[in-house]
Amino acid sequence: MSKSQVKDLTTGAPLKLILGFAVPMLLGFLFQQFYNMVDTIIVGQCLGVTALAAVGSTGSINFMINGFCIGVSNGFAIPVAQKFGAGDHKGMRKFVANAAWLAAAFSAVMTVVVGILCMDILKWMNTPADIIDGAYDYIFVIFLGIPVTYLYNLLAGIIRSLGDSKTPVYFLLLSSVLNIGLDFFTILVMGMGVGGPALATVVSQGISAILCLAYMIKHFPILKMTPDEKKPDGDMIKVLCTMGIPMGLQYSITAIGSVVLQTAVNSLGSLAVAAVSTGSKVSMFFCSPFDALGGTMATYAGQNVGARKLDRVKQGVWTANIIGFIYSIAAFAFLYFFGKYIALLFMDEGETELIGQVALFLKVNSMFYIPLTMVNVVRFAIQGLGYSTFAILAGVCEMAARAFVGFVLVPAFGFLPACFASPLAWICADLFLLPAFSHCIKKLKIMFGE
């Protein structure tokens, strides 16, 4: 096993390690958001504002369901990182095998349940009548791809747990290019409407997953298992559920607030839906560095707690936050002055009211990227330390903030409060996460006898 395939994050300068690990992840997140954004651009330009609103109206429910899948998969990878950091390769392989069993079971159950309830969910969210059929055509196909979401994110998480953040990115780059081509093919050639980009997303991610699997089999002999290591283990399944389910629920609970907010925005009409969904797509692209820093800290903290190096964990958290703060200032300046021009990528220049609302959404959100930095860095560090339950409580804080805006402020004041929903959620989460991190470090010091 060559050094290029794995990376030990328990020694060396944290700044160099974090940047070296985060940059490849950032490229992956950027391209993932890029092709998600291209989906939206192609839909808006080729199918019109109504189709754009239809796809956008599914954003929160998509995040709630697939976010759970991603969170669970990332949580399953944490014990793998901890065992790798501790040098217990046999235990690491057994965790990988049991994570695969659990992911298969979770994906089968979730696909059936959400597929059956798909239309009912859209109705419960008060999706406007002029876009509900298009919304169903899009999100139903996305939900059929839940097993693919589990497969890719679990495999990518395991590869990253071994210190290799580059390889999943390479496969994601390839699938991004394929996704864009399939978008045009399914819409312009096959005439599939909004279901086309959904199918393109699922197929592209499936190809990434298969490539990750093939790469792991060929290049990671450390993961080659004996028949005994492949067997389900009740104790390990319990540990994986303790790590994975809280991380999944963190995403889903957070998304419940987004669903409430989306329901409130739906009541404002398809124009407001299109503005929030478009602004969210652009914001997610600019927030990719925060996601990369978060993913980096989960692996960094996991390996270092396995090696019992808590001071390095704290140093890493501080370093990652500084990196995020610097980027936050630059991103705010760019979106403040150029947000309206970015909106033109998604719609005709004649949609002046819509363009103005998108630009406002981007300005407000980017003003609060510094609190978002801390949410991602600190939350994922806590998860890497093994205290995933705290992620649920942070998610509850975010849910409460977004639900308050959705239930109270949007009905009373209209579109503007929707722009402040995420910033308020980030601030509320930070008020919980910062003292929670200190608490986790103190508990671990007592556990390690320091």
* Closest-CA residue to 97 (of 1, 244, 233): 233
Q: State yes or no: pLDDT of 164 exceeds 90.
A: no
Q: What is the pLDDT of residue 433?
A: 95
CB proximity list for 217: less than 8 A, separation 6 or greater: none
d(CA 360, CA 16): 36
Proportion of the chain above pLDDT 70, given as a percent: 96
- As a dihedral over the C-alpha atoms of residue 364, residue 297, residue 19, residue 374, rounded to 10 degrees, the angle is 30
Q: State yes or no: pLDDT of 189 exceeds 90.
A: no
Average pLDDT over residues 150-159: 88
Q: What is the pLDDT of residues 238-282, one digit of tens each?
A: 888 888 887 787 777 766 777 778 788 888 887 888 888 788 878
pLDDT band at 36 (very low <50, low <70, confident <90, very high): low
Q: What is the pLDDT of residue 110?
A: 93
Q: Which of 78-82, 103-107, 408-412 has the lowest mean pLDDT?
A: 78-82
d(CA 103, CA 116): 20
Query: Has this prediction a pTM greater than 0.85?
Result: no
Q: What is the pLDDT of residue 330?
A: 96
Higher pLDDT, residue 147 or 6: 147
Q: What is the pLDDT of residues 378-414, one digit of tens each?
A: 998 998 888 877 877 888 888 889 889 988 999 888 8
The region that residue 269 occupies, defined by phi over 0 for left and psi between -120 and 50 for alpha, beta otherwise, is left
CA distances from 399 to 241, 343, 434 (A): 22, 27, 18
Burial 246-269 (b: 16+ CB within 10 A, else e): bbbbbbbbbbbbbbbbbbbbbebe
pLDDT band at 448 (very low <50, low <70, confident <90, very high): confident
Q: What is the pLDDT of residues 284-300, one digit of tens each?
A: 889 989 988 998 898 88
Question: How many helices, marked H, and strands, marked E, lie in the chain?
Answer: 17, 0
pLDDT band at 7 (very low <50, low <70, confident <90, very high): low
Q: Where are the alpha helices (DSSP H) in 344-414?
A: 352-366, 369-385, 389-404, 410-413
Give 10's DSSP letter: S
Tell me the residue length of the chain: 450
Backbone angles phi, psi at 192, to 5 degrees: -85, -10
Q: What is the pLDDT of residue 439?
A: 93
* Closest-CA residue to 72 (of 113, 100, 49): 100
Q: Which SS3 state, helix, strand or coil, does residue 351 take? A: coil
The residue with tokens 């409460």 is: 400
DSSP one-letter string for 102-144? HHHHHHHHHHHHHHHHHHHHHHHTT--TTTHHHHHHHHHHHHH
CB 418 within 8 A of CB 263: no
Q: State yes or no: pLDDT of 4 exceeds 60.
A: no
Higher pLDDT, residue 367 or 180: 367
Proportion of the chain above pLDDT 90, given as a percent: 25
d(CA 149, CA 437): 29
* Closest-CA residue to 280 (of 195, 323, 339, 199): 339
Q: What is the pLDDT of residue 174?
A: 83
pLDDT band at 123 (very low <50, low <70, confident <90, very high): confident
CA distances from 339 to 32, 343, 356 (A): 20, 6, 9
d(CA 423, CA 386): 27
Q: What is the pLDDT of residue 1?
A: 39
Q: What is the mean pLDDT of the chain?
A: 85
- Nearest-10 crossing angle of helices 369-385, 389-404: 150
